[in-house]
């Protein structure tokens, strides 16, 4: 009797925050994983610990690696690569908008023939709660109307871009019966997350560890739902592998609301920090006319019904683990700089 072939998964953005955790999850299930990442916001260190016999990192932009990837034949594709973070969107909107659509079309087209023997390959695409825009109807349900600000406000470009990706993916499903699933991630947090492009929890944790002020944009009354990345990635394979989910859009996250001020206070308390809170007006943080969303909360009925999903990791645990991951990166850097540099060292 022959063993069933091992599942081979492609993760675009696989050296990023969510992608690297998904790689760990799939490897733990016995899969082989190929990650493609241009390391624009991702980091090779995120995947340095993964077993080289079953994990491969292709260091490239998605569209430049198509020939190399085509030859590998996949059982499933997780498309997570994107320009992520408010700061990045405000700084480089063209790359975010154009790159998002170009990558989506390239991968959807590829998925039609990248399965074993040239067959179709199921694909999960990462979308975002930003797609709901500033809708005031909470909790957000997948079929709700969306409400955006004007196109003169760059911050909405990410929402439009992710929405266009969804339109294209659903059109591939309708026209070509492509097995595609759309996952609208809400605030995803956890170890290895970087604050470089404006993500709130890593910024708070880093400031608390250094005893610096935790800078809250606006009044801190805006509410969000934070879900640990390890919970988020646990449900993605189940979503993609369930034929009933294909052609569907799913909110993915936690529905537990927390104001940004509460989040900051929790970080200080959990880490026993001496930091204080500092309120920063939006126009000082992001420039004039920045619009924030007051409450962002998913309705998870569809996801729970399809997969039985239930988040298990508390925000306190996430804060502790994120702090530990930052401290270990700091410790590694310190020991690297303390060690002798090159052949002249002792
Ligand atoms: N983290 C969240 O809270 C959140 C919320 C909503 C949606 N998302 C979505 O989840 C996905 C993953 O986000 P993340 O938080 O892990 O961010 P991340 O920045 O850590 O991951 C994105 C990865 O994609 C890579 N990348 C970007 N453009 C690329 C390209 N053209 N070719 C190859 N690699 C490229 C980056 O280097 C990075 O490693 C994104 O699609 C994002 O829009 C994340």
Task: Report which secondary-structure segment, H or E, holds 157.
Answer: helix 157-176
Report yes or no on 230 lying in a domain: yes
Query: How many domains is the chain partitioned into structurally?
Result: 1
Q: What is the pLDDT of residues 120-164, one digit of tens each?
A: 999 999 999 999 999 999 999 999 999 999 999 888 999 999 999
Report yes or no on 342 lying in a domain: no
Query: Above 60 in pLDDT, residue 38?
Result: yes
Dist. CA 201–CA 187, nearest whole Å: 10
pTM comes to 0.94
Provide the angle, in degrees to the nearest 10, between the axes of the packed helices 260-271 and 200-210: 40
Report yes or no on 73 lying in a domain: yes
* Contact of 39 with 15, CB cutoff 8 Å: yes
For a ligand 1 pocket test, name from 15, 16, 297 the mutation site with the most ligand atoms within 8 angstroms of its C-beta: 16
Report yes or no on 333 lying in a domain: no
Q: Catalytic residue, from 78, 132, 148, 158: name it.
A: 158
* Contact of 8 with 72, CB cutoff 8 Å: yes
Report yes or no on 265 lying in a domain: yes
Q: What is the CATH number of the domain that holds 23?
A: 3.40.50.720
Report yes or no on 3 lying in a domain: no
Please state, as a whole number, how many other Cβ atoms lie within 10 Å of the Cβ of residue 258.
Answer: 17
**Catalytic residue check, 160:** no
Dist. CA 336–CA 214, nearest whole Å: 29
Q: Whose CA is nearest to atom 28 of ligand 1?
A: 82
Identify the residues whose C-beta falls under 6 Å from ligand 1: 12-13, 15-19, 36-42, 61-62, 80-84, 99, 103, 126, 128, 185, 187-188
Report yes or no on 335 lying in a domain: no
If DSSP codes are grouped into helix, strand and coil, which group holds residue 52?
coil
Report yes or no on 116 lying in a domain: yes
Q: How far is the CA of 42 from the centre of ligand 1 (A)?
A: 8
Dist. CA 328–CA 49, nearest whole Å: 13
Cβ neighbours of residue 1 under 8 Å, at least 6 residues apart? none
* Contact of 250 with 303, CB cutoff 8 Å: yes
Q: What share of the chain has pLDDT > 90, as a percent?
A: 81
With the C-alpha atoms ordered 297, 103, 40, 66, is the resulting torsion angle positive or negative?
positive
Provide the angle, in degrees to the nearest 10, between the axes of the packed helices 260-271 and 315-338: 60
* Contact of 164 with 100, CB cutoff 8 Å: yes
Structural domain harbouring 83: 8-327
Q: What is the pLDDT of residues 185-242, one digit of tens each?
A: 999 999 999 888 778 999 999 999 999 999 999 999 999 999 999 999 999 999 999 9
Q: How far is the CA of 208 from the centre of ligand 1 (A)?
A: 25
């Amino acid at each position: 009797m022959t063993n069933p072939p091992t599942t081979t998964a492609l993760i675009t953005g696989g050296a990023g925050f969510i992608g690297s955790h998904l790689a760990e999850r799939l490897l733990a299930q016995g899969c082989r994983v190929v990650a493609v990442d241009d390391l624009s916001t991702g980091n090779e260190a995120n995947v340095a610990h993964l077993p080289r016999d079953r994990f491969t990192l292709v260091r490239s932009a998605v569209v430049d690696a198509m020939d190399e990837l085509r030859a590998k034949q996949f059982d499933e594709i997780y498309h997570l690569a994107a320009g992520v973070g408010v700061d990045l969107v405000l700084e480089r909107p063209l790359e975010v908008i154009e790159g998002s659509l170009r990558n989506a079309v390239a991968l959807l087209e590829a998925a039609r023939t990248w399965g074993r023997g040239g067959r179709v390959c199921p694909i999960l695409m990462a979308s975002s709660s930003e797609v709901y825009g500033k809708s005031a109807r909470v909790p957000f349900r997948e079929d709700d109307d969306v409400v955006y600000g004007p196109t003169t406000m760059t911050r909405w470009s990410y929402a439009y871009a992710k929405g266009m990706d969804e339109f294209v993916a659903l059109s591939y499903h309708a026209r070509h019966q492509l097995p595609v699933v759309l996952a609208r991630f809400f605030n995803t947090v956890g170890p290895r997350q970087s604050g470089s492009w404006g993500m709130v929890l890593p910024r708070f944790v880093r400031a608390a560890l250094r005893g610096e002020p935790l800078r809250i944009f606006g009044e801190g009354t805006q509410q969000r739902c934070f879900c640990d990345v390890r919970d988020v990635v646990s449900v993605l394979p189940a979503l993609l592998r369930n034929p009933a989910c294909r052609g569907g859009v799913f909110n993915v996250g936690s529905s537990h609301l927390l104001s940004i001020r509460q989040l900051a206070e929790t970080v200080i308390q959990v880490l026993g920090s001496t930091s204080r809170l500092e309120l920063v007006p939006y126009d000082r943080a992001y420039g004039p006319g920045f619009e924030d969303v007051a409450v962002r909360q998913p309705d998870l009925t569809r996801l729970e019904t399809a997969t039985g999903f239930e988040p298990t990791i508390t925000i306190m645990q996430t804060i502790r683990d994120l702090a530990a991951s930052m401290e270990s990166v700091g410790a590694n850097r310190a020991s690297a700089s303390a060690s002798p540099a090159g052949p002249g060292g002792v």
